[in-house]
């Protein structure tokens, strides 16, 4: 059974159906606070309990450097990219802290964080890109600390630098969240992203910025997060103009089974780390005791330490085998074949593509991707076609595109795609015929 988000998100629907994206209103009988002073760094408190602080302003020159020199310095590219930019407006960066709940734990209240990047000169109305970030092994390499996240900086430079508002959740367990990492846990991922959008829309309203159409984008883990967020928004009736994924592990069960049972020479060495935090997240949020069930005793403590951010990838990699299956108990590996245990059934339920969507979607893949096989990244295209869903395309980033190369290609291409859709009015989704 797929997890649904807390009922509080249903309160967004009325505002969503009346506008293009999620809208927050002040409580009855209480006037909205004065528009915040954008140039100050003091915290901004929004009636919904959201707090926002200005953490920086990037001018056009800095944004252009991000899309060229910083890409090379970070290792994301081996050449100064020419496919991005140029930026046309400076951008203000706001760290947002907001209340949320954990669906897997009976909607236990929690706090999460993320980034809202607002152009000094936004498009009118300002389109919003909700960006879902990829896998990181630390707590701080996330959107709300953009200087530590190259992918976030690139999205801000490419989109916010040209007039889009960029909204990016850290997810539960990252940034300022006090929780354990919610890595690839569906309900909590949806909740963190939806509530981040809710808070960001509150901020835009107070700043007097009219919100335009909503777009979704994500890379790697964030590609999967983009899909499960899209499913939740469609279920709530929230219009999304288009969505794009890059190297998305769309089917978690199949992806993990492939890593375990069919390793390939191309596979990145850090798949053991991914598996450790994935199992740790499932144990923390849904399946107590899973680490001891799944991981060999001699490697269990290292996996717990990585998940808890007590050690990083370099130290972890010295303590575990190179192959994922060699880190796991033989009986746990064997159970993946039938997929009947609670763990495997949960992974099968937390897919990111098996529903009939109506939103235009592009799924980017690279033929040399060392993390996400082509088959996995392109599953939504075939599925939506066969069930008569919305227009979905599998876009090849190239024969030499690896995991990062696919991301770079996708960012540039989806920007052109989103730009082209801004001038096109979205037709209403036609009512579906009743089932006889």
CATH 1.10.3720.10 applies to domain 252-349:
no
CA distances to 187, 225, 263, 295, 309 from 193, in Å: 10, 9, 32, 30, 22
Residue 332, pLDDT > 90, answer yes
CATH number at 37-251+356-422 = 3.40.50.1820
**66 pLDDT more than 90:** yes
Closest by Cα among 397, 410, 411, 408 to 368: 397
- Comparing 353 with 18, which gets the higher pLDDT? 353
Residue range 137-151, pLDDT digits in tens: 999 999 999 999 999
pTM (two decimals):
0.89
Asked, colleague to colleague, whether 37-251+356-422 and 252-349 share their fold, the answer is: no
Q: Give the pairing of strands 91-102 and 108-119.
A: antiparallel
For the chain, give every domain's residue range: 37-251+356-422, 252-349
At 76 the pLDDT is 86
pLDDT of residue 278: 98
For residue 81, CA distances in Å to 70, 396, 408 come to 10, 19, 9
Mean pLDDT for the stretch of residues 336-351 = 94
Give me the percent of the chain exceeding a pLDDT of 90.
82
Q: What would the pLDDT profile of 287-306 be if each residue is shown by its tens digit?
A: 999 999 999 999 999 999 99
Instruction: Judge whether residue 393 has pLDDT over 70.
Output: yes
């Amino acid at each position: 059974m797929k997890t649904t988000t807390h009922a509080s998100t249903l309160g967004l629907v009325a505002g969503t159906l009346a506008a293009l994206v999620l809208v927050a209103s002040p409580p009855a009988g209480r006037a909205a606070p004065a528009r915040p002073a954008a140039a100050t760094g003091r915290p901004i408190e929004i009636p919904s309990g959201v707090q926002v602080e200005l953490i920086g302003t990037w001018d056009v020159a800095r944004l252009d450097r991000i899309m060229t020199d910083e890409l090379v310095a970070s290792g994301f590219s081996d050449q100064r990219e020419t496919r991005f930019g140029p930026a046309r407006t400076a951008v203000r960066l706001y760290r947002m802290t907001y209340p949320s709940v954990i669906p897997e734990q009976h909607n236990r209240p929690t706090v999460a964080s993320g980034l809202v990047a607002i152009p000094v000169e936004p498009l009118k109305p300002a389109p919003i890109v909700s960006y879902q970030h990829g896998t990181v092994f630390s707590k701080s390499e996330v959107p709300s600390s953009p200087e530590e996240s190259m992918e976030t900086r690139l999205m801000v430079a490419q989109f916010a630098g040209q007039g889009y508002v960029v909204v990016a959740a850290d997810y539960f367990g990252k940034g300022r969240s006090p929780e354990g990492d919610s890595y690839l846990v569906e309900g909590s991922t949806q909740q963190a992203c939806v509530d981040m959008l809710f808070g960001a829309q509150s901020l835009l309203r107070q700043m007097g910025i009219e919100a335009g159409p909503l777009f979704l984008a994500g890379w790697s883990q964030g590609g999967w997060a983009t899909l499960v967020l899209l499913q939740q928004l469609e279920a709530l009736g929230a219009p999304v103009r288009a969505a794009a994924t890059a190297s998305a592990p769309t089917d978690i069960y199949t992806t993990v089974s492939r890593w375990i049972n069919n390793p390939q020479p191309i596979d990145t060495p850090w798949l053991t780390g991914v598996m450790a935090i994935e199992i740790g997240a499932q144990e923390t949020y849904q399946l107590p005791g899973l680490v001891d069930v799944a991981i060999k005793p001699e490697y269990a403590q290292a996996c717990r330490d990585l998940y808890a951010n007590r050690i990083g990838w370099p130290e972890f990699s010295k303590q575990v085998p190179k192959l994922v299956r060699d880190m796991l108990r033989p009986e746990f590996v064997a159970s993946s074949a039938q997929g009947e245990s609670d763990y495997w059934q949960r992974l099968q339920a937390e897919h990111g593509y098996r529903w009939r969507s109506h939103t235009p979607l592009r799924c980017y893949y690279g033929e040399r991707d060392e993390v996400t096989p082509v088959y996995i990244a392109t599953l939504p295209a075939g599925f939506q076609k066969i069930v008569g869903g919305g227009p979905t395309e599998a876009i090849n980033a190239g024969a030499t595109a690896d995991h990062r190369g696919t991301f770079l290609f996708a960012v540039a291409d989806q920007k052109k795609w989103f730009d082209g859709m801004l001038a096109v009015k979205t037709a209403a989704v036609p009512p579906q015929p009743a089932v006889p």
